[in-house]
Structure formats: C-alpha cells, structure tokens
Amino acid sequence: MARGPRTVSPTDSRERLRQDFTRSAPLRQIHPNLAEVRVEIEFQDEAAEQAPSAQAFSYFPAARGFFRYACPCHSCSGHFDLSAHVAELAGTNMKKPRSRSVNVACAGERARGTQLREACGITAHVRVSAIPQPAE
C-alpha cells in the first residue's frame, strides 16, 4: 500500500535550516565582490490581527552566506529563500550599490489541531541591498 506525501513538521524544517546554515560557506567565498548584504523583512499575516515583527539582517564578508529564513509563524513548516535575489544583485560587474524589493509568499503549512494542516498565509515584503567591495 502506497503512503501519502509526508508532511514536514515545523521542528524538522527549522532543524534542516540550522544544519544548512552551519554548512554554508562565508559570503566572501560565495560572492567575493560584496562588502555587505542587507536584508529587511516585513510580514503580513492574513490569519492574524497583528503581523509578526519585522526582521533585519546585515552580512559582511566573514558571515555565512545563507539567505533562507524560517517563517515567523511557530507552527509553520515553511521558509523564505532569498538566495537567488542576492545572487542576482551581486552580479559579475557590480560597481555600485544595488537593491531590490520583492514580495514572497510562504509556501509552508500551519498546524491547526492535531491532524489538520492549512496553507500558511504569511507574505513577506523583502528589501535586499548589496554593497560592492571598494575598488582597489
């Protein structure tokens, strides 16, 4: 008898993010032309009266170049992956600071009761800024 698709628990998802973070390379290896990356995230939650608190991160060359963030809803198994946006901003011929704003919907599921799961519903408004290394 075939099993249905396995649901990922929020704990498993967050543990996998932690493991991936510890294995990630420093920013200076992934994007050697960057002096700094800034990520600012504001959340909107259609299921709650009050949205989760905003978050902001700054990364310098020695920091791990890991740009995936767990959904702020504690019962959600999803995350926001901004790696492609950072890579696009870094580009090969980056001479001056660049930034981008994007809206990203959480693709995870929230637990509702013991067996019921539903789409998360959190949307993140994200601003990513990349600052190049100074010209030598």
Q: What is the pLDDT of residues 89-113, one digit of tens each?
A: 988 678 899 999 999 999 999 877 6
Are the C-beta atoms of 56 and 38 separated by less than 8 Å? yes
Q: What is the tens place of the pLDDT at every residue in 46-73? A: 877 888 999 999 999 999 999 999 999 8
pLDDT-derived band at 1 (thresholds 50, 70, 90) equals very low
Q: Is 10 helix (H, G, I), strand (E, B) or coil?
A: helix
What is the pTM assigned to this prediction? 0.84
Distance CA 96, CA 4 (A): 50
Rg of the chain over all Cα atoms, to the nearest angstrom = 17
Instruction: Give me the numbers of helices (H) and strands (E) for the chain, helices first please.
Output: 3, 8
Q: What is the DSSP letter of 133?
A: P
